[in-house]
Amino acid sequence: MIGVIGATGSTGRALVAALKEKGADFRCLVRDTAAAAEKLGGDVEMVQADLADAASLEAGLQGCDKLFLLSGHSPVMVEQQMNAVNAAKAAGVGHIVKLSGGSFITKEASPAMIGRGHWELEEAIKASGLEWTMLRPGFFMQNFLNMAEMIKGMGKVMMPLPADVPLGMIDVRDTADVAANVLTSDGHAGQTYELSGPNVVPAEAVAAIGEAIGKEIAFVTVPMEGAVGAMKERGMPDWLVDHQSTLMGMAANGEMVSYGNDLIAELSGHAPRTPADFARDFAGAFQG
């Protein structure tokens, strides 16, 4: 039995779909079972549990031998994921598969709080006595979904990135396909898998969206100060503004390049999805 924490986010939903396709035996630990059923379907086993409540996690993980661990970025990410790690150990789980941050950000001396948090969690899991596998994805193509309204209303994408900076992009569905394989097969204990496709520049990704919807979309590089101001105007908390601006700064400096390996193909059984694949499959989100 596989326990899944983080099932209702974009990567989690893709993982649930991949595990269903494999016919895997799994259970999702969710805060709101009714809301989760609307996203995941009524045929998914669910149990109510909260990352802030270690006892509920331990109860929900009874009978599970593996755990997929993912939670949203927040100031309490480390505390909450440690609740899950400790609950997994108490419940007799033997193997944790953690979706971590990219290798460019997950470091002890990372400039971003979330990066330092992922590093701390990885080290704690390695010291837990449980088997472990770390998944470190690159820049998610699904980040462009956050700009859907801008694309629909203004016909452009504005980011504090050079149009030609290389990024190791990955579709969250590829991350999920890899995770599903790792969770349902042996030989992955003690491995850290860096996951991304070939380098893609922002202008190429935006052009793929334009082609998919039959509309020319401009990519506009904006100053970091302007991007930070826009995030604050939208009411984003300071910690998240800091995280996002740090990531964009690293990307702009060329620090989010492709890992240059074939792990997606090796571990998922298919080639990495391309920006054209992503744009075609999500075209409806950008049309209006």
263 contacts 195 by C-beta, under 8 angstroms: yes
Interhelix angle 10-22/33-40, rounded to 10 degrees, is 70
The pTM is what? 0.95
Report the distance separating Cα 189 and Cα 198, nearest Å: 26
Q: What is the average pLDDT value for the chain, to the nearest integer?
A: 95
261-282 residue pLDDT tens: 999 999 999 999 999 999 999 9
**pLDDT of 88 higher than 90:** yes
Predicted local distance difference test score (pLDDT) of residue 174: 98
Residue-by-residue DSSP string for the chain: -EEEESTTSHHHHHHHHHHHHHT--EEEEES-HHHHHHHH-TTS-EEE--TT-HHHHHHHTTT-SEEEE-----TTHHHHHHHHHHHHHHHT--EEEEE---TTT-STT-SSHHHHHHHHHHHHHHTSSSEEEEEEE-EEGGGGGGGHHHHHHHSEEEESS-TT--EEEE-HHHHHHHHHHHHTSSS-TTEEEEE--SEE-HHHHHHHHHHHHTS--EEEE--HHHHHHHHHHTT--HHHHHHHHHHHHHHHTT-S------HHHHHHSSPPPPHHHHHHHTHHHH--
- Residue 42 confidence (pLDDT): 87
Q: What is the pLDDT of residues 192-206, one digit of tens each?
A: 999 999 999 999 999
User: Where does the pLDDT of residue 63 fall: very low under 50, low under 70, confident under 90, or very high at 90 and above?
Assistant: very high
**pLDDT tens profile 2-42:** 999 999 999 999 999 999 999 999 999 999 999 999 999 88
Query: Where along the chain do its domains lie?
Result: 2-137+172-195+259-269
Q: Is the pLDDT of residue 288 over 80?
A: no
The span from the CA of 9 to the CA of 246, in Å, is 23
- Cβ(125)–Cβ(102) under 8 Å? no
Q: Degrees (nearest 5) of the Cα angle 46, 181, 185?
A: 95
**CATH number 3.40.50.720 is the correct assignment for the domain at 2-137+172-195+259-269:** yes
CA 191 – CA 230 distance, rounded (Å)? 39
